[in-house]
Amino acid sequence: MNFKLIFNIAIHLLRARLKQSIVAAVGVTFGIAMFISLVSFMNGLNDLLDGLMLNRTPHVLLYNEIKPSENQPISLSETYKNDVNFVNSVKPKDRGKAIYNSKAIMHYLKQDQRIIDVAPKISTPVFFNSGTIEISGVINGIDVLAEEKLFALSDYIVEGKIADLEQNNSIIIGKGLADKMLLVKGDIIKITSAKGNLASLKIVGISQIGIADIDNTVSYTSLDTAQKLLGEATNYVTDIQIKLYDITTAPALAREFHSKFYLDTIDYQTANSQFETGSSVRSIISYAVGIVLLIVAGFGIYNILNMMIFEKMDSIAILKATGFSGNDVKWIFISLSLIIGLVGGVFGLLFGFIFSSIIDVIPFNTASLPTVTTYPINFNPLFYVIGITFALVTTIIAGLFPALKASKIDPVEIIRGK
């Protein structure tokens, strides 16, 4: 089989139907360009939402959940342990939210090679007092340096600096809470803890995560200040946040730490299962739309090649009469579809990149997302590989059926008919 000759004949046939061939290639170009633009934008959006939610979530969280004891005293009795026992009005186990021996646990975790670092936290409900009005919220007492290292909290500080929390009796409040209470940096806010302790803290910054439920209720202070507010010792911690090198191991490590430290644990996948489902659905939709566009372009190639076969019956008959086999003719038409798919695919990748670059510089300014300035785009090379691969596969399949039809043409019948 002379592939060079077959390729030259395919080029000649393309020139003979140049307008139709260009239309088919444009269809592939449009499909690939829209596929690249859509997938890049949707995955960029997913990355943005991951940054807002998942990057603020520890990969594994250790804490004490207030819940009833799993083993009631009656189940330990030799007399009744094998019976079916009904226990009513079970009260939560009185163990508190504090993590016992937290410093030793954190020291152990920091030695683990699978862990980037750990960050202790105190999470407690409080009331923010504004005159006679009390607004409920949450204060997170944090280790400033560890929190900044693991979660880049400074990216969400719109006024002030995260380092200012090192000052005594200082606090960073959410943007929503500041707007409700008409507070600005430098003001004093009065806080009442759940135990009734009162404190006056200086506002050294304002944060804006971009999620209303957080910005309206959550504030940050140092571990020392939170411990003083609650009247607790310096080793009082309610949460230990863990960041991992390999986040896929989070579920397994959560189970391991639960059995090792007898603490409640939750991994980021469990904590954000609904959020991750939404990201998956958006990706599926974008891929589905792109594939449909390419299939539609494939039907265009199929129709054009079919028409070309009807118009070139004489040429096909002459080729066969001069010694070309049915397999040679088949490869001529497959080459036609491959050329259309390759040219259309390459231009589709180019225009897809151009469209994505244009979207990437379009301003996107919103008060709720201060860290976002343009529409998000993910320039992942894998999207371009998928695009050109699917373009070639689609066009080969679209050209295969007309090629098989052309290979079965009997030159004697065509010439006799003439």
pTM over 0.75: no
Token duo for residue 244: 């991992």
Sequential pLDDT tens for the chain (418 residues): 677 777 787 788 777 777 877 877 887 888 888 888 888 888 888 787 777 666 778 999 999 887 666 666 777 777 776 777 777 766 666 567 888 888 999 999 999 999 999 999 999 999 998 777 788 999 999 999 999 988 888 888 888 998 899 888 999 999 989 988 888 999 999 999 888 888 999 999 999 877 778 888 899 999 999 999 998 888 899 999 999 998 889 999 999 999 999 888 999 888 777 666 776 777 788 778 777 776 776 676 677 666 766 666 667 777 777 777 778 778 887 888 788 888 888 998 999 999 999 998 888 876 666 667 788 888 989 889 988 888 788 778 877 777 777 777 776 666 665 5
For residue range 162-214, what is the model confidence (pLDDT) as tens digits? 889 988 899 999 998 998 888 899 999 999 988 888 899 999 999 987 777 88
DSSP annotation string for 254-323: HHHHHHHH--EEEEHHHHTHHHHHHHHHHHHHHHHHHHHHHHHHHHHHHHHHHHHHHHTHHHHHHHHHTT
Q: If residue 338 lies in a helix (H) or strand (E), which one and from where to where?
A: helix 326-361
For residue 123, what are the β-bridge partners?
Answer: 140
Token duo for residue 335: 């080459």
d(CA 121, CA 98): 10
For residue 174, what are the β-bridge partners?
Answer: 207
